[in-house]
Amino acid sequence: MKSLIQKLVETPGPSGFEYAIRDVIREAIADAADEIRVDALGSLIARVGTKTDEGMRVMVSAHIDEIGLMVTHVDANGFVRFTNIGGINPLTCYGGRVLFMDGTQGVIGMDVIGPGKMPKLSDLFIDVGATSKDDCPVKVGDVCGFERPFLDLGKRMVAKSMDDRIAAAVAIEALRRLEHTPHEVHFVFSTQEEVGLRGATTAAYGVDPEVGFAVDVTRSGDTPRFSPKMATALGDGPAIKVRDSSFIADPRLVDWMIKAAQAADIPYQLEVLEAGGTDGRAIQLTRSGVPAGCVSIVCRYVHSPSEMVDSDDVENAVKLLVKLLSEPIILG
């Protein structure tokens, strides 16, 4: 899957500007889906399977947007001020390189701040090599993402948008491998998750699922002096979400997912994420309510330009998702 993952993570697509990454995914699933459409907010929705008497209408959502920056002002010398798109930590920005949607590149600089002072986004600027406002190639409202190449460390992979392109890769591969299902499955590659679960909210209303699963990254609790403590680690398998700060997974689904993993001898871990949310909330709260769960891929350094995942976790997440979608869903 590494070639697919590399293509996904290196394609730009901050929230609201997912057109390039959507085209990449459409091409990747073109031969595997029964129907593909794009909704009004730009989410790509691929339907697979026909609902049987034992089946349900199932939504699987992996968001395809990434965190980024939007130009707010260009000064007389051509330096660019910006605001955030999604959760941006100023400490991970300084000296980083960015790529605008039109191909313009730049580097993030920082104003002089006092000793011991923590930088704010307002202390940062983008230098695109311009000498004045007139020759600056970007304007107010233009967007960029971080520019970092895919890094293959063998068992571990590093990139600037594993959140959530690694989940998109899992969903793509699960769709390709799903040979039979009693369900009508709608794979949603959702937009604008990083700014409020917007794409999944409208997609869930349109799909009207009877049950749903988000696929997303979660934090890793295995780095030195990690705080708060979290019972997740790279290499220990996909995580079955119990709760995060946006929703509590349906306990019936959690129990069924655990049993499915055990029956297939797929390693798994349980996840309680105290800060952060997923498309699971959008699915759960659609219309009159939907039982929802989440398959998570453990990730180090989330919302930084260098997010790390484990290749075995990714493969086992695919296996688990295929297992879940190949069988009747038991909520009793």
Tell me the domain boundaries of the chain.
2-66+160-325, 68-146
- pLDDT, one tens digit per residue, over 271-326 is 999 999 999 999 999 999 999 999 999 999 999 999 999 999 999 999 999 999 99
Name the residue among 308, 305, 316 with its Cα closest to residue 96: 305
Strand pairing report for 80-85 and 68-74: antiparallel
Give the number of other Cβ atoms within 10 Å of residue 163's Cβ. 29
**Residue 76 structure tokens:** 């007389």
Asked whether the bond before 115 is cis by omega within 30 degrees of 0, the reply is: no
69 membership: H or E segment, kind and range: strand 68-74
Whether 54 is a known active-site residue: answer no
Amino acid identity of residue 315, one-letter, is: E
- pLDDT, one tens digit per residue, over 236-285 is 999 999 999 999 999 999 999 999 999 999 999 999 999 999 999 999 99
Burial of 63 (0-12, 13-18, 19+ CB in 10 A): buried
Q: What is the pTM of this model?
A: 0.96
- CATH code matching the domain that covers 68-146, chosen among 3.80.30.20, 3.40.605.10, 3.40.50.1380, 2.40.30.40: 2.40.30.40
- Whether the predicted pLDDT of 332 surpasses 80: no
Give the number of other Cβ atoms within 10 Å of residue 9's Cβ. 25
Kindly name the residue from 18, 184, 193, 327 that is annotated as catalytic. Answer: 193
DSSP calls for 256-305? HHHHHHHHTT---EEEE-SS---HHHHHHTSTT---EEEEEEEEBSTTSS
**Residue 136 structure tokens:** 């600056």
**Residues 243, 270 contacting (CB under 8 angstroms):** no
- Whether the predicted pLDDT of 227 surpasses 70: no
- CATH code matching the domain that covers 2-66+160-325, chosen among 3.40.630.10, 3.30.70.260, 3.90.1170.50, 3.40.50.1100: 3.40.630.10
Give the number of other Cβ atoms within 10 Å of residue 222's Cβ. 15
- Averaged confidence pLDDT in the chain: 96
